[in-house]
Structure 1
């Protein structure tokens, strides 16, 4: 089959929560959420099969790739769903024993891997544990093979059944519940939006990380900010004998906060700027900005 007879689609691995791109015949059509069998080569060179959920064909930034095998048949889907119900039936036992052994950890959910033929139990923790004793005891209680999977904060929210019906700040389902790749929020994305005076806790989502919605207006802020003098730069002001240092500005109101040479703080309109001088070299962040940087780095994780 030539490359012209193929197209690239994207999936979410049901067991690792990683996104993959894979080539399929161009005449194949998939429904969002449809289950797809795919194959990948591990670090040991062995080929393994797994199940992915179709998320669309517009995610060109996904670099991981795998090989398309087939779409799941109705019979395979029925078997798959039945085994997932059994996995959830084992979860209360896992949760009880895991919390007893590791009180600071958060058990998340359980799934059954049809090709690995074992139970997957997921948990969240910032710590590392010694599982030797727990594995021995839980294997005996479960009566079968299982795999422990430690997930991050976002995956904890994505995979937890308890968050399925929670509405986010945008009036829709939580971003973490989406099958699509989630944006990465950097400290600079906060600073460019002048959020340095905000309570960092109000900027965090359900997962404890910075809200995905903080990325939506960054491009607008970056573009509009080019029309303003930079924070820390010195400006000449119309009808004012003193120079002033820019401490902040608001792209929505076109207002600039300025500290004059005598220490007085005023607010002027962008049109009142007469001349912009170079930013003072070696300027350090003010207290609010310094606190934001430290807290945001923790939130970014």
Structure 2
């Protein structure tokens, strides 16, 4: 089987897992490296050191390892960040002058400053050819404008979620996972958009984290409203507690009994 040596890395300014080829077995988690990626020359942080995978398990690496980063590289990166902030302000003014319907998110220079990348969101396609000419004339480098989605925007900008912690997408969640409204239903959460939506306006990524447990737990519990036969007689399920695997049953005499995990097997659903 053909094997490929790679490392898992992320950006320094936001969390975005990418995989690059690396034949140096000494690279470890926490190292700063310089790599040639699809975006250009980048300074990256190693999330997982050199390891082998079958070539068939990866479609195409995002780039290749060049060398370990030096102190000068780190200083250069910080300097580029300051220049990118100034470029962001200039671009925002140019967008306003050109009356373009786009929302600028951030700007970033590659490490060698051969490319300046602007990320933006927009409801529709934008003809930004005139803007590119203005930016290229001003900064004397290659300009790339990338239209991103609202989830990526939240990742770039960061923020605090309703849980009180920093957004998952901008701290540790390197890849977005599919999230559905059924996951919220499985957890008996309010389906109000304001309760289950993140800063991006889409369903919160964390709905996916425990969904497997909730799906499994639901198979062990009768549905609310189901008629069940209990040791005390026939009753109707009026509530379930998925976390404790408990069921509340109301009997014909209106007496309410709770059955815990050890008693669930004693309940028989009556058709």
How does the TM-score come out when normalised to structure 1? 0.66
Distance (Å, rounded) in 2 between the aligned partners of 1:133 and 1:251: 57
Cα offset, 1:94, TM superposition: 0.5
Is the Cα–Cα contact under 8 Å of residues 139 and 145 in structure 1 kept in the other structure? yes
Distance (Å, rounded) in 1 between the aligned partners of 2:146 and 2:89: 16
Please point out which of 227, 247, 254 is paired with 1:255.
247
> CA 1:194/1:116 → structure 2, altered by over 3 Å: closer, same or farther?
same
Provide the aligned length of Structure 1 versus Structure 2. Answer: 256
In the other structure, the counterpart of 1:92 is 89
Question: Is residue 225 from structure 1 mapped to residue 224 from structure 2 by the alignment?
Answer: no
Please point out which of 258, 261, 264 is paired with 1:269.
258
Per-residue CA deviation, residues 84-141 of structure 1 (Å, 9 max, x unaligned), is 3212112111112224545653211111124571211111223211223333444445
Per-residue CA deviation, residues 57-102 of structure 1 (Å, 9 max, x unaligned), is 2999986524322222223333333233212112111112224545
Is the Cα–Cα contact under 8 Å of residues 38 and 70 in structure 1 kept in the other structure? no
> CA 1:232/1:64 → structure 2, altered by over 3 Å: closer, same or farther?
farther
Cα offset, 1:274, TM superposition: 3.6
Distance (Å, rounded) in 2 between the aligned partners of 1:99 and 1:255: 59
Cα offset, 1:14, TM superposition: 7.0
Is the Cα–Cα contact under 8 Å of residues 19 and 62 in structure 1 kept in the other structure? no
Cα offset, 1:146, TM superposition: 1.4
Cα offset, 1:39, TM superposition: 4.8
Is the Cα–Cα contact under 8 Å of residues 8 and 17 in structure 2 kept in the other structure? no
Is the Cα–Cα contact under 8 Å of residues 13 and 52 in structure 1 kept in the other structure? yes
Per-residue CA deviation, residues 14-56 of structure 1 (Å, 9 max, x unaligned), is 7995522544432333426x2431456xxxxxxx853252242
Is the Cα–Cα contact under 8 Å of residues 183 and 207 in structure 2 kept in the other structure? yes
In the other structure, the counterpart of 1:176 is 169
Question: Is residue 216 from structure 1 mapped to residue 215 from structure 2 by the alignment?
Answer: no
In the other structure, the counterpart of 2:199 is 206
Please point out which of 57, 62, 65 is paired with 2:48.
57
Is the Cα–Cα contact under 8 Å of residues 231 and 247 in structure 1 kept in the other structure? yes
Cα offset, 1:241, TM superposition: 5.2
Distance (Å, rounded) in 1 between the aligned partners of 2:76 and 2:115: 14
Cα offset, 1:184, TM superposition: 1.6
Structure 1 unpaired stretches of 5+: 41-47, 279-301
How does the TM-score come out when normalised to structure 2? 0.72
Distance (Å, rounded) in 1 between the aligned partners of 2:85 and 2:129: 23
Per-residue CA deviation, residues 142-177 of structure 1 (Å, 9 max, x unaligned), is 5554111112223223323xx4xx443344322232
> CA 1:140/1:39 → structure 2, altered by over 3 Å: closer, same or farther?
closer
Greater displacement, 178-187 / 7-16: 7-16
Distance (Å, rounded) in 2 between the aligned partners of 1:186 and 1:113: 33
SS at match of 1:57: strand
